[in-house]
Structure 1
Amino acid sequence: MWKVVYIAQTAEAAARIKEVLAANGFLTQTKTTNSKHGGVYEISVPLSEAEDAYEVICENKFQL
């Protein structure tokens, strides 16, 4: 089971989040939603890793 840990407004932001998570050893999935209106990108990680992944995102928020 997967949990959304971040919603990015652009493909570039989604790629940066995925890079940060991958550098810290997390598996990620990206899903584009509402693509008819520009869309947003949902970044998901395995449910068991969601809390840790969110902490990594928060720790790196100024670098994203």
Structure 2
Amino acid sequence: MWTTVYVASGKEWAIEVENKLIAEGFLVKKELVELGDEEEIYEILVPELEASDVQVLLYELGII
């Protein structure tokens, strides 16, 4: 099962976060959640078993 570990504002930022996680060896996918007039909101998802490790990495990278 996939679990949301981060919500990114804007496609470019979502791609950057996704690429950083992939570079660290994680399986990642992003899904468009909302398409507003001014911004796009994306969920960054990883397998449930990797979620806690990914959150630690996001913290270490200064993303969260």
How many angstroms does 1:31 deviate by? 0.5
Q: Count how many residue pairs are aligned between Structure 1 and Structure 2.
A: 61
Contact 2:34 2:42 in 1 (8 A): no
How many Å separate the matches in 2 of 1:34 and 1:23?
26
**What is residue 33 of structure 1 aligned with on the other side?**
33
| Structure (1 or 2) with the greater helix fraction | 1
* Structure 1 segments (4+ residues) deviating >4 Å: none
**What is residue 52 of structure 2 aligned with on the other side?**
51
| Structure (1 or 2) with the greater strand fraction | 2
TM-score (norm 1): 0.87
Give unmatched runs, 5+ long, in structure 2.
none
Identical pairs, percent = 34
RMSD between aligned alpha carbons? 1.2
TM-score (norm 2): 0.87
CA deviation profile, 1:21-46 (whole Å, cap 9, x unmatched):
011100011110122x1330100000
